[in-house]
Chain A
Amino acid sequence: MPIIQTRDLRKVFRSVRRRPGALGALRTLFSRDYEERVAVDGVTMSLEAGELVGYIGPNGAGKSTTIKMLTGILVPTSGSVDVAGIVPYEHRKDNARNIGVVFGQRSQLYWDLPLVESFELLRAIYGIPQSTYKRNLAEFVSLLQMDDFLRTPVRQLSLGQRMRGDFAAALLHDPKIVYLDEPTIGLDVVAKEAIREFIARINAERGTTIILTTHDLADVERLCRRIVLIDRGTIIYDGDVERIKNEYGRFRHLVLRFEEPVERPQLPGAELEESAGVRARFRFDRNRERADLLIREASERYKLEDVTLEEPDLEAIIRRIYVEGYESRTEETVS
C-alpha cells in the first residue's frame, strides 16, 4: 500500500493575458483573453512508506506545483491524489498533521521571535505532547548543533542556522511524510553535508518518507536511490539513480596529459573531443571499448604525464536530458 499515490494529476493555471503599455492596461480591463498554462500534465506516481525520492526537473517543470497539490494548498484540475489515505485538498488540515515541509527559499519560522519560541508555537499548533516535544527538541538540538542560537531571533540567524531551525520545525510533530524543496540552496559545502547527513538519518531512523526537490544533484546522488524526473509537466523518468547513470553513462571521457605538446592526437576507438597543447580529451563508448586497453594504447603512442578517467556524474547526465529530452536506452544497455 503506497503512502503517496497520484493518478493522472493535472493542474492548469488560467491567467489574464495583459497587454503592454498604459492603453493596453485599459483594454485589458474591458476585454479579457485568458491564457492557459499546463503546469502539471498527467503525473502518475506512487511512493512506498520510508522511501527517499529525488524529484528533479528544470525550473518551471511542475515540481513545486505537484508538491503544492500533495500538501493540499492547490486543488488539482483533474486526476486523483492520495496522501496517507487522505485527499489533501479536501482535508487540508488533517493532511497537514501528517506532513512536514522545508523550503530553502522561504522560512516557516517566526521572523521576530527567538528560534525556540517558534518551536513552542508549533508545539501548540500541532498539539504535540510535552514528552514527544522534549525528546524531539533535544534530539534535533544536538544533531543540528543548535545550542548556540536557540534563543536568537530568527531574523539574526545565518542562512545555515536558519535552515537547521527550519528542519527542526518541520519535524517536531513526527510527520510521516516530509517535502524538502531545495533544502541546501545557498549553503556552504560543510553546511550542505550536515543537512544531507541529517536527512539521511531521519529517513533511516524514523522511516520518514521524503520527497526531495533540488537542483543540486549532489544531494540526490548522496541521498536517493530513486529519482523521478519531470519536464514540461510530465514524468520522463522514474526509477533507480543507478539505472539512469548506466543508460546515459555509455560515454566516458579519457583525459590525457602529454609530456610535450601533441598536434591532433589520435586514439583508435575513441573520439577526440578537444585538445590543447599538452592536454587532450577523448570520448569513448563504454560498451565497446575498455578503458585499460585505451590507456595502454595511448601510452604506447605518446609520452604520458597523467591520465584521468572521467565517470559521468548525475549532473552531466541530467543536463543532457534537459537539453536533448529523455528516451529510454534500456535496450542498448541490456544487450
Chain B
Amino acid sequence: MEVLTEVGSLVLRVYLLRALWTALYAQNAAPMNLPLHSMITYATVALLMSLILEVDGTRLIREKIREGTIATDLMKPISVPLYFFSDGVGQTLLHAVLVVPSLAFALLMVHVDVPPPATLAAFAFSFLLGYCVNFFLNFLMNSIAFWTLETFAVQLIVRWVSDLLSGQIIPLTFFPGIFGRLVFGLPFAAIYSTPLLIYVGVIPASQWMTYFAVQILWLALFGALSTFVWRAASRRVVIQGG
C-alpha cells in the first residue's frame, strides 16, 4: 500500500515537473547547454535521487537522545556513529527498492536521457559521495539534540536552504552572476548538483576529477567536524530520565 501511494505521488510529481519546465522553456529561450529534454531528465533524476537522499537515517540519533535509549547503545562495545550509519544505509537500501517501480513508471511518462556507461559510472560515484556528504550533514544536525534536545527548527531551515542551493529543484547553472558562482562553492552543491550535472553532461569528462575532489573535500571536512562534534557530545551526554 505504501509502495502504491509512494509511486503514485512520484508519478504525479514527474508529470508536474515536465509540465512546469515545458511551460517555462516555452516562455524563455532555452539556457545554453541545457535543452528542454536535458532539463526534464535533470528534474526526473533529481526526484529519484531525493527518494534516497531524503531518508534521514540519522533521525535515530535525535530519537534516541530524546528517549534516553542512547544509554543502552553506549553501554555496548560498538562505535555508536557507525551504528547510526549502518542503520541509515539499511533504511536507504529499503527505500531504494521503491526507486525501481518509480523509475519504470516515470520512464513511461517522460523521456529520460540515458548517458553513455562511463558517464553513468561517474554519476554513480558522485552520487555515492553526495550520499555521504548528506549523511554527515544530517548527522551534524541531529547531533544538535545533544545540546538542545530539539532540532526541528534548525533542520527545517537547513532543509529549505539545502533544497534550493543543492540544485535539487533548479540547476545551479541557472543562478545569475556572482550568486551563481557562490552556490557552487557551498557544500550543498556536492549533494545533488554535481552528480546531476555529470549525468546531463554539463560537467564534461575532463572536469570530473575536479568535481570529485571538491566533493571529497566536503566529505572530509564534514566527517572531521562530525567526529569532533561526536566527541564533544559524548562527553556531555545527559541521559533522559533517571
B71, B235, B236, B238 interface centre (most CB from chain A within 10 Å) = B71
* Chain A residues positioned under 8 Å from B71 (CB to CB): 68, 73, 106
* Chain B residues positioned under 8 Å from A232 (CB to CB): none
Residue B77 lies at the interface, judged by CB distance under 8 Å to chain A: yes
Q: Contacts A103-B72, A108-B72 known; A94 to B238 CB distance under 8 Å?
A: no
8 Å CB contact of A96 from B68, B77, B235, B237: B77
Judging by beta carbons under 8 Å apart, are B75 and A13 in contact? no
8 Å CB contact of B76 from A94, A96, A105, A181: A96
Residue B74 lies at the interface, judged by CB distance under 8 Å to chain A: yes
Instruction: Write the nearest CB–CB distance from A203 to chain B, whole angstroms.
Output: 20
* Chain B residues positioned under 8 Å from A13 (CB to CB): 238
Residue B118 lies at the interface, judged by CB distance under 8 Å to chain A: no
Q: Contacts A64-B242, A125-B77, A126-B77 known; A73 to B68 CB distance under 8 Å?
A: no
**Which chain A residues (91-122) contact chain B, with CB distance < 8 Å?**
92-94, 96-97, 99, 101, 103, 105-106, 108
Q: Contacts A73-B237, A74-B237, A106-B68 known; A92 to B242 CB distance under 8 Å?
A: no
* Chain A residue at smallest Cβ distance from B68: A106
* Chain A residues positioned under 8 Å from B68 (CB to CB): 106
Interface size grouping (class) on chain B: 10 to 19
8 Å CB contact of B77 from A75, A93, A105: A93
**Which chain B residues (224-242) contact chain A, with CB distance < 8 Å?**
234-239, 241-242
How many residues belonging to A are interface residues under a CB distance threshold of 8 Å? 22
* Chain A residues positioned under 8 Å from B239 (CB to CB): 68, 73-74
Judging by beta carbons under 8 Å apart, are B78 and A125 in contact? yes
Q: In the complex, A92→B239 CA distance in Å?
A: 16
Residue B69 lies at the interface, judged by CB distance under 8 Å to chain A: yes
Judging by beta carbons under 8 Å apart, are B72 and A75 in contact? no
* Chain A residues positioned under 8 Å from B74 (CB to CB): 71-73, 92
Judging by beta carbons under 8 Å apart, are B75 and A94 in contact? no
Judging by beta carbons under 8 Å apart, are A96 and B75 in contact? yes
* Chain A residue at smallest Cβ distance from B79: A93
**Which chain B residues (210-235) contact chain A, with CB distance < 8 Å?**
234-235
Q: In the complex, A181→B75 CA distance in Å?
A: 14
Judging by beta carbons under 8 Å apart, are A75 and B76 in contact? no
Q: In the complex, A96→B80 CA distance in Å?
A: 13
* Chain B residues positioned under 8 Å from A105 (CB to CB): 241-242
Instruction: Write the nearest CB–CB distance from A184 to chain B, whole angstroms.
Output: 16
* Chain B residues positioned under 8 Å from A64 (CB to CB): 242
Give per-residue flags for B66-95: 1 if the beta carbon is below 8 A from chain A beta carbons, else 0: 001101101111110000000000000000
Q: Contacts A13-B238, A68-B239, A75-B235 known; A106 to B75 CB distance under 8 Å?
A: no
Q: In the complex, A283→B72 CA distance in Å?
A: 47
* Chain A residue at smallest Cβ distance from B69: A106
8 Å CB contact of A93 from B72, B78, B238: B78
* Chain A residues positioned under 8 Å from B234 (CB to CB): 73
Instruction: Write the nearest CB–CB distance from B148 to chain A, whole angstroms.
Output: 10
Q: Which 10 A-B pairs have the closest CB atoms?
A: A96-B77, A108-B72, A73-B74, A93-B77, A64-B242, A97-B77, A101-B75, A71-B75, A75-B235, A96-B76
* A contacts, CB < 8 Å to B: 13, 64, 68, 71-75, 92-94, 96-97, 99, 101, 103, 105-106, 108, 125-126, 181
Instruction: Other than A105-B241, A106-B69, give 13 A-B pairs with Cβ distance below 8 A.
Output: A71-B74, A71-B75, A73-B74, A73-B75, A73-B237, A73-B239, A74-B239, A93-B78, A96-B77, A103-B72, A105-B242, A106-B72, A126-B76
